Structure 1
Amino acid sequence: MPLTLDDVRAPHSRLLEVISGSRAYGTDTPTSDHDFKGVFIQPADSFLGLSPTDQVSDARNDSVFFELGRFADLLAKNNPNLLEMLFTPPDCTIFRHPLMDSFTPAMVLSKRCCDAFAGYAIAQIRKARGLNKKIVNPQPPQRRPITDFCHVLENAGSVPLLPWLANRGLQQHHCGLTAIPHAPHTFALFHSPDAQLPGIAEPDSSSLRLASIPLGTAPIAWLVFGNDAWQRHCREWREYHEWTSLRNESRFTSTIDHGMGYDAKNLMHTFRLLDAAEEIARHGRLSVRSPNRSWLLDVRAGKFPYNDLVALAESRIATIEHLFAHSSLPDHPDLDAINRTVISIRRQWYRIPATQPCGNAFAD
């Protein structure tokens, strides 16, 4: 059976559980979510079986737990979220097994943090603008009918199908289509109130209907279906309504209220990440709680123009890249040490003596 959050929080599995997100960073407000992250170790039978579990989370990812191996793999890539978990301050640490102290800063912090943190910051800048697209381009409650994407060729141009039919007093359910060979998404359009044609499409249909037309029957027009535009509309409509069903309403309202046209919370996280990257480059340590709470909250409140923040972020990134280039940090995490640590933790957890090989789960 799949592991649940209750399973990975149980004493026989949990290695680490922390409060994450803005409450750990010190940038929380009264409406901030409660987010939790953790590390678990699988029961031996699950780990050795055919379907090991790398990660367990709830539907909204408010609680996310990583299996020890997955956690170590992401640490070795200097993933910002996983590094922050490891260095969460004590007041936001719900549980920490002493075995987790085996992962040391010297083992995991490296020059790779430059790309990991700065690259993540750049992605946050792009994400801040991405929300704007959904705000200014809301989708209707119902998907547009497929016939909205059909046009009739006329003279040297084309006209939308439904107005073209209405101007001629024709009904689409009295119409029929046949495909034109070697002309993708192009159809011969027929009309007959008496021939029991199938129509062009049902209102909620995802495809056009084709008809069986007697040989020699002349079409009344040629129809072109905008398949690419239809597919794009379906995707955007679906993504928009998935977003509205999952979005944080207080965060969305804040974005609308400040009127700057971007997700200010994402930009706040951009500068928080840049602060963390600079601390790693200068001092070889990572403080999860930000020392710039007041300024970061001003960013979150939308008090600065987007272009000004982007320019500042780009300047900070250039400085950080210079600092990492001249840092005494190793080029990459100590993969051998991380691997030995994972093996040691598993041996102790599963009570495998250090002198006993782990063996092959599929050996005879």
Structure 2
Amino acid sequence: MTIERLQQQREYLLLECISGSRAYNLHLPTSDTDLKGIYILPQPELYGMTYTDQVANATNDEVYFEIKRFLELLEKNNPNILELLSTTEGNQLYRHPLMDLIRPEDFLSRLCLDTFAGYAKTQIKKSRGLHKKMNQTFPETRKTVPEFCYVVAGSRSMPLLEWLHENKLAAADCGLSKIDHFRDAYALYHPQQFAGEVPFKGICSGDAANDVQLSTIPAGVEPLTVLYFNKDAYTVYCKDFAAWWEWVALRNDERYRHNQALGAGYDTKHMMHTFRLLTMAEEIAKYREVRVYRHDRDFLLRIRQGAFTYDELLEMAAAKIEQMEQLYAVADLPEHPDPQLAGKLLVSIREKFYGQKK
């Protein structure tokens, strides 16, 4: 099965829905139309050597699950799957009568506390990461090893580059040797200390180096100074530098400019979905329903429009999670769905569907 084949053989569709922002009633004039659905494999393919549990288009805005995979995820109270099953009629493009056998209320359980809250916390984590990235910047050229080195100058330390400048020395001319029992500390020498020509390798091999390098040092000469390479700080810096530029290359520029224009300093869309997920989890505990279509659109869009500070949203989310945990402690929900139900439904749906095809 492929998405192209499924589009041509729509008789294998069980459910097709508009999903994402339009299903949530959170769409804007510029919003795309996402699709999700459920299909059943043709019987020969089911009995064959391959099993295709999911198909999607290249941009992943059209995703379809095979009925077995759908029921597996439904049994785990996966939020995306519960939302698909509970999509309002106005956003259902096609629904096979066999889908009436699967009722969301038969699968709702206390697992929703972990799954919906887990998704929400993931959104917060993404927002935190983006908050950091949106409030930092890196030049195109990465800092070099010598910029993270310091030397002993009398009773104090000073940056290596500053020390070299004061002493009219070049990093490329210096030589380093390891000092036993001192992590990331080195004895530093210069050829001017020696009679005759003494070639040293320099502090590091070049601007792309990730560490200092050692030279062969003639015996019997005291070092000019002791050098310390703050390797831990350099490692963190390099990771942040690479992550930032990767984010720049992959980020949604329209969304980034939107957040910058708002002065929000965080990804407002991620935070909007954080509160959508937390509120949906509360509604499951209170009403045993998955309410996909959001009547709290105005509040959620205010979050997306940057009406709240980042710290305000984190405080509100923490309070909401605490309230949700209290609701689930007393909610009329089983610990998990009936472990036999998904299997029985799968057999029944396959028997009925393939029987109709004969």
Return the TM-score normalized by structure 2.
Answer: 0.80
In 1: Cα distance, 2:46 partner to 2:150 partner: 57
Which of 308, 320, 325 is the matching residue for 1:304? 308
Residue of structure 2 equivalent to 1:196: 199
Please report how far the alpha carbon of residue 68 of structure 1 lies from its aligned counterpart in structure 2 after TM superposition: 5.1
Amino acid at match of 1:297: L
Residue-by-residue CA offset, 1:115-144 (whole Å, 9 max, x unaligned): 322343344345434322112211222221
Residue number among 243, 250, 267 corresponding to 1:246 in the alignment: 250
In the TM superposition, residue 167 of structure 1 has moved relative to its aligned partner by 1.4
Shift in Å, 1:317: 3.8
Task: Go from structure 1 to structure 2 and tell me whether the alpha carbon gap of 1:182 and 1:30 turns closer, same or farther (over 3 Å shift).
Answer: same
Contact 2:174-2:203 within 8 A present in 1 as well: yes
CA distance in 2 between partners of 1:232 and 1:126 (Å): 19
Q: Is the 8 A contact 1:17 1:39 kept in 2?
A: yes
User: Given residue 245 of structure 1, which amino acid in structure 2 is its aligned partner?
Assistant: A
Distance 2:221 2:187 in 1: 10
* Distance change (3 Å), C-alpha of 1:186 and 1:311: closer
1:173 is paired with a residue whose SS is helix
Aligned to 2:331: 327
- Does 1:267 pair with 2:274? no
Decide whether aligned partners of structure 1 residues 184 and 59 sit closer, same or farther in structure 2, where only a CA change above 3 A counts. Answer: farther
Cα distance in 2, alignment partners of residues 165 and 60 from structure 1: 53
Q: Is contact 2:109-2:334 (8 Å) kept?
A: yes
Q: Equivalents in 2 of 1:164, 1:92: separation in Å? A: 69
Preserved CA contact (<8 Å) 1:9 1:40: no
Aligned to 1:23: 22
Aligned position for 1:111: 110
**Is 1:233 the counterpart of 2:237 in the alignment?**
yes
Which residue type is aligned with residue 180 of structure 1? I
Task: Return the alpha-carbon distance in structure 2 between the equivalents of residues 10 and 234 of structure 1.
Answer: 49
Q: Distance in 2 between matches of 1:113 and 1:133?
A: 30
Does the 8 A contact of 2:211 with 2:231 survive in 1? no
Matches within 5 A, 1:164-203: 164-192=163-191, 194-201=197-204, 202-203=206-207
Q: Relative to 1, partners in 2 of residues 1:204 and 1:285: Cα closer, same or farther, differing over 3 Å? A: same
Report the CA distance between 1:187 and its aligned residue: 1.8
1:148, 1:59 → 2: CA distance? 44
Deviation at 1:329, TM superposition (A): 2.4
Question: Which whole-Å CA distance do the structure 1 matches of 2:54 and 2:154 have between them?
Answer: 60
How many residue pairs get aligned? The number is 348
SS state of the match for residue 340, structure 2? helix
Contact 1:8–1:65 (Cα < 8 Å) also in 2: no
Contact kept, 8 Å, 1:129 with 1:261, in 2: the verdict is no
Question: Out of 205, 224, 228, which is 2:209 matched to?
Answer: 205
TM-score (norm 1): 0.79
Deviation at 1:170, TM superposition (A): 1.1
Which runs of no fewer than 5 residues in structure 2 stay unpaired?
none
Query: Greater CA deviation, 220-229 or 253-262?
Result: 253-262
One-letter identity of the residue aligned with 2:168: G
User: Is 1:88 paired with 2:87?
Assistant: yes
Same amino acid, percent of matched pairs: 42
* Structure 2 residue 262 is the aligned partner of structure 1 residue 258: yes
Residue 293 of structure 2 corresponds to residue 294 of structure 1: no
Structure 2: how far apart are the matches of 1:52 and 1:213? 65
Q: Provide the aligned C-alpha RMSD in A.
A: 3.5
- Matching residue's letter, 1:216: G
Shift of 1:213: 2.7
State whether structure 2 residue 146 is matched by structure 1 residue 143: no
Against the structure 1 CA distance between its residues 38 and 264, is the aligned structure 2 distance closer, same or farther, given a 3 Å change threshold?
Answer: same
Greater shift in the superposed pair: 228-237 or 258-267: 258-267
Q: What are the equivalent positions in structure 2 for 1:210-229 lying under 5 Å apart?
A: 210-229=214-233
Distance in 2 between residues matched to 1:150 and 1:54, nearest whole Å: 54
SS at match of 1:335: coil
* Residues in 2 aligned to 1:223 and 1:136: alpha-carbon distance in whole angstroms: 33
Structure 2 equivalent of residue 359 of structure 1? none
